[in-house]
Amino acid sequence: MASRSCFSVACAVAVMAFAILATASNAQPLDPHFYDKLCPAALPAIRKVVEEAVAVEPRMGASLLRLHFHDCFVNVRTYLYERAYCIWFGLKTYWFDAR
């Protein structure tokens, strides 16, 4: 009975992993010039605010870099995959509840 349960869990994990990889492969590549036409003042405004924040707190640069690579202005339909990932691996999920 236990082996059947383990097999079911393994199949469920495999299906979820496949679904996550399948949706990720449809993403468009990042474009460094995306905001040039949409909002040309974005980069100078962001640069000014970041420079001011780093001047006040030098560790802010590292914090922003970590944030950037975690969630780099990604437009997604739902955050359920990320929340499920955190739950599976025992990570904190309190920031999802504020939405």
* 21-57 residue pLDDT tens: 666 556 667 777 888 888 888 889 989 999 999 999 9
pTM beyond 0.75: the answer is: no
What residue spans define the domains of the chain?
2-28+38-98
Task: Give the whole-angstrom CA distance, residue 66 versus residue 59.
Answer: 11
Q: Residue 70: which H helix or E strand, with range?
A: helix 60-70
Mean of the per-residue pLDDT values of the chain: 72
Q: Give me the catalytic one of 59, 70, 92, 99.
A: 70
Whether residue 70 lies in the annotated active site: yes
**Tokens for 15?**
């299906």
Distance in angstroms (rounded) separating the CA atoms of residues 98 and 32: 30
Going by the annotation, the residues of the binding site are 71, 74
Annotated binding site for Ca(2+): 71, 74
Q: 52 to each of 41, 67, 72, 90, how far by Cα in Å?
A: 17, 18, 21, 36
